[in-house]
Structure 1
Amino acid sequence: MTRRVAILISGSGSNMAALIDSMTGDHPARPVLVLSSDPAAKGLQRAVGRGVPAEAVDRRAYRDRASFEVAVDAALRREGAEIICLAGFMRILSADFVSRWTGRILNIHPSLLPLYRGLDTHARALAGGDAEAGCTVHEVTAALDDGPILGQARVPVLPGDTANALAARVLEAEHRLYPAVLRRFAAGDRTPVRLP
């Protein structure tokens, strides 16, 4: 049975593109919707260019988070989404929304969780003198950047690294990790993926 995947974005959608490009052949899932919280997100055009329906639910058009999430939820259900992949979706989802989709929302985060929840992860890794950084795909829970870890990829911190240089290498790892985790997750296997 093929699982129906919705991908939520807010920006350029590079992880979204990697996910869509991976869902071919014998993959156990197919993309049914790309949804952005920003109508100007470049990722919407990238999705359409890949043949995936795309739409925006503009967060600024709603009086509060609850009404915004009602609109997002309605779009997801209209398309029959079974799995939600957050891919640079820059909105924190409420506990109420997460509870309606428990066990079906994945997120990618640019650190080796539980290290560096939140923002500025690369600068924080450099400031901490870490020998390696990386990324994590996890199941979304009501707590920020928490939930069961479904995969991690490690990236060495190089001498003279800047936050931007490290971020670029971590992003390459994200593009490998997220598709690998989604393939396994959509097949019903939650065993964590570990990439070097």
Structure 2
Amino acid sequence: MKPRVAILISGRGSNMAALIEAAAEDGYPADIALVISNVASAGGLAIAQRSGVETLVIESKPFGKDRAGFEAVLQAALDQHRIDLICLGGFMRLFTAEFVQHWHGRMLNIHPSLLPSFPGLDPHGQALRAGVKISGATVHFVIPETDAGPIVMQGAVAVHDDDTPDTLAARVLAVEHRIYPQALKLLAAGETKLAEGLCKSPAIPSSDQILIVPPAGA
């Protein structure tokens, strides 16, 4: 039986939509069973509903700083829907260490930078201020430390001299939509292995493709 996946969102749900679309393809090894938002007005809820995915709103605002109280309600919903894996898709709520440990190795997040560089807020602005020539996105397992879990998959784009945070974000978002479904596919198919704080995917051949920016010899 395919693992049942819950996607947690707070906003527009663009990565959620990419995951739902991928999971609808024949042979995809995971079932998107539930979308949960902690914000009732999240635009992604309507997208999920149009795609035939069950949705649920568990508003976090009434809980204030009581993260454990919110997580108790969230966990009850996950249990009720027999969820095996979680994907965070722009979920703007921090978890307690206890909740994260409960889902160790079963909860993925995506961050719009090549971690461990530029974690946290404004990753595109961080990248541009640092003057990097390559940026991208990272799918990683969630651990108690923010944006620091074992890396499952990364994708990169060139940074242009005239980039703004918005133009860079648009190109990186296209990468996010490609790698998140692939990373979930690896996890759901049992093709990831966590060891000593690192993630290995032994069933996937390594790539020797090289991205050089500016192009060598330019």
Q: TM-score range by the shorter chain?
A: over 0.9
**Unaligned runs of at least 5 residues, structure 1:** none
Q: Distance in 2 between matches of 1:184 and 1:93?
A: 24
Q: Distance in 1 between matches of 2:27 and 2:75?
A: 28
Deviations 1:38-71 (A, max 9, x none): 0110101110010000111101122511111111
Larger radius of gyration: 2
Match of 2:32 in 1: 31
Q: Distance in 2 between matches of 1:178 and 1:146?
A: 17
Deviations 1:143-192 (A, max 9, x none): 11111100000011012000000001100100001001111110001145
Query: 2:54 matched to 1:53?
Result: yes
Q: 1:188 aligns with which of 170, 174, 190?
A: 190
Give TM-score, length-normalised by structure 2: 0.87
Deviations 1:87-114 (A, max 9, x none): 1001111101111111100000011000
Deviations 1:112-157 (A, max 9, x none): 0000110100000000000011000000111111111000000110
Q: Secondary structure at the match of 2:5?
A: strand
Q: Distance in 2 between matches of 1:157 and 1:90?
A: 26
Match of 1:111 in 2: 113
Q: Which runs of 4+ in 1 moved over 2 A?
A: 191-196
The 10-residue stretch of structure 1 (184-193 or 84-93) with the greater mean CA deviation from structure 2 = 184-193
Whichever residue aligns with residue 160 of structure 1, its letter is D
Whichever residue aligns with residue 112 of structure 2, its letter is P
The number of residues matched between the two structures is: 196
The 10-residue stretch of structure 1 (13-22 or 185-194) with the greater mean CA deviation from structure 2 = 185-194
> CA RMSD for the aligned pairs?
1.4
Q: Distance in 2 between matches of 1:51 and 1:5?
A: 14
**Unaligned runs of at least 5 residues, structure 2:** 193-199, 212-218
Alignment of structure 1 residues 9-158 onto 2, 5 Å: 9-24=9-24, 25-63=26-64, 64-158=66-160
Q: Secondary structure at the match of 1:68?
A: helix
Whichever residue aligns with residue 141 of structure 1, its letter is I
Q: Distance in 2 between matches of 1:157 and 1:105?
A: 30
Q: Secondary structure at the match of 1:184?
A: helix
